[in-house]
Amino acid sequence: MSVTPADSVILVKSEKTGHAIAIDEILCKGCTICVEICPKDVLEMVDAIDRWEGATARVKDIDACIACFICEHECPDFALLVYAAPKAKKAVED
């Protein structure tokens, strides 16, 4: 079975915050930058013998994500996308 680009993307969404992270396992080379730089310890590395470094990034705790986009901006291979939940509009008071 071959892996298509759509099959390689894992999307994890928080029911609590509405934030989501998508990781493309084909693009991720396992460099660990995203895991090391995340201020909330949202990501982890898992074994992947077919990757350059023998590992790939995965979401460990999506509810801890604050959608700061640091992991997305620092990923040298554009393997991560962060989706921030839309902010609710506050009612305007007269």
Domain ranges of the chain: 5-83
pLDDT at 92: 57
In this structure, CATH architecture of domain 5-83: 2-Layer Sandwich (3.30)
Distance between CA atoms of residues 76 and 53, nearest Å: 14
Report if pTM > 0.85. no
Q: What is the DSSP letter of 60?
A: S
- Closest by CA to 72, choosing from 94, 57, 92, 53, is 57
86 or 70, which is more confident: 70
Positive or negative, the Cα torsion across 6, 66, 59, 88? negative
Residue with token string 């994500």:
65
pLDDT digits (tens, 9 = 90+) for 36-75: 999 999 999 999 877 667 889 999 999 999 999 999 999 9
Q: What is the DSSP letter of 26?
A: T
